[in-house]
Amino acid sequence: MRLLAHNMLACNAKGVVNGFPLKIVVKETRETETEFNAEFLVHMLPKMEWAAFVNAAREIGAGELPGEIPDDAATNEEFLQAFHHALLEVHVEEGTLVCPESGRKFPINKGIPNMLLNEDEV
């Protein structure tokens, strides 16, 4: 799971009103190299829950990002590189996601978050 997915994932168990952001308990991460695509990054910016992203990047050791998206983000190479790295190049391999509201835990094994609910949670 990369932060691209983490920033979109939310707990959808019955009764949970705000299942975002899932807290990440990290056991193991892995880094890969991905092609840099500035245009995609700019496309993603308005979709991001930025505060949650900055926090998650810190939680998984994917780097420090500014607390707010800079005004010149689209042309700020240094910022985009840091964003790219944290969004797409760091994978949480083993760990747990925790719903901020219900405390429900979702394990991450072999890089795959298991968001399966029980029938009584739907």
Q: Rule CB under 8 A: say whether 25 interacts with another protein.
A: no
Cβ neighbourhood burial of 88 (10 Å; 0-12, 13-18, 19+): buried
Q: Mark the segment that binds another protein (CB under 8 A) among 6-14, 23-31, 62-70, 74-82.
A: 6-14
Minimum distance from residue 121 beta carbon to another protein (Å): 8
Backbone angles phi, psi at 35, to 5 degrees: -60, 135
- Terminal-residue alpha carbon distance, the chain: 24
Nearer to another protein, 65 or 87 (CB): 87
Kindly state whether residue 31 participates in binding another protein, applying the rule CB under 8 A: no
**Cα(73)–Cα(68) distance, rounded to whole angstroms?**
10
Nearest Cα residue to 21 out of 44, 50, 62, 42: 50
Does position 78 interact with another protein (CB under 8 A)? The reply is no
Q: For binding to another protein (CB under 8 A), which residues are involved?
A: 1-2, 4-5, 7-12, 19-20, 34, 37, 39-40, 43-44, 47, 49, 110-117, 119, 121-122
